[in-house]
């Protein structure tokens, strides 16, 4: 019944869509440039891009007959925010650094 709009977490649940976002980190790209990285048909790529678009994770720029897709990284914030409250469980460099910062700025 899926009455909860898929949203960002749904959008990033598919590995192909995560890879598409990863590609767009290096800059805007037209669909064909994206599609050549995948085995699936080009329409399938279009459909994945649509999911990303609906989630607000990318925008479309029309340039002549091309459509360039652009990453909207801020939209990943819900993911970062959610994962952030698990960070205390990883005792790695990041956690140590953050604690270090908290200390060094609390003065």
Partner DNA sequence: ATAATGCGTAAGGAGATGCTTACATGTCAA
Partner DNA sequence: TTGACATGTAAGCATCTCCTTACGCATTAT
Beta bridge partners of 63: 66
Among the residue ranges 26-34, 48-56, 62-70, 84-92, the one whose residues contact a second copy (CB under 8 A): 84-92
The verdict on 56 binding DNA (CB under 7 A) reads no
Q: How does DSSP classify residue 76?
A: G
Hey, which residues between 2 and 61 contact a second copy (CB under 8 A)? 4, 6, 9-10, 12-15, 18, 22, 25
Measure Cα distances from 44 to 16, 31, 52, 67 in Å.
10, 11, 13, 16
The verdict on 59 binding DNA (CB under 7 A) reads no
User: In angstroms, what is the C-alpha Rg of the chain?
Assistant: 18
List contacts with DNA (CB under 7 A): 1-3, 6, 10, 13-14, 16, 30-33, 35, 39-51, 60, 62-68
């Amino acid at each position: 019944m899926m009455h909860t709009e898929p949203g960002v977490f749904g959008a990033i649940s598919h590995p192909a869509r995560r890879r598409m976002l990863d590609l767009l980190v290096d800059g805007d790209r037209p669909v064909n440039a994206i599609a050549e990285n995948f085995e699936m048909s080009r329409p399938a790529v279009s459909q994945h891009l649509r999911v990303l678009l609906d989630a607000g994770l990318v925008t479309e720029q029309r340039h002549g007959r091309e459509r360039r897709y652009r990453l909207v990284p801020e939209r990943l914030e819900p993911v970062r925010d959610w994962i952030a409250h698990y960070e205390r469980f990883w005792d790695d460099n990041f956690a140590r650094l953050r604690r270090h910062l908290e200390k060094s700025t609390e003065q």
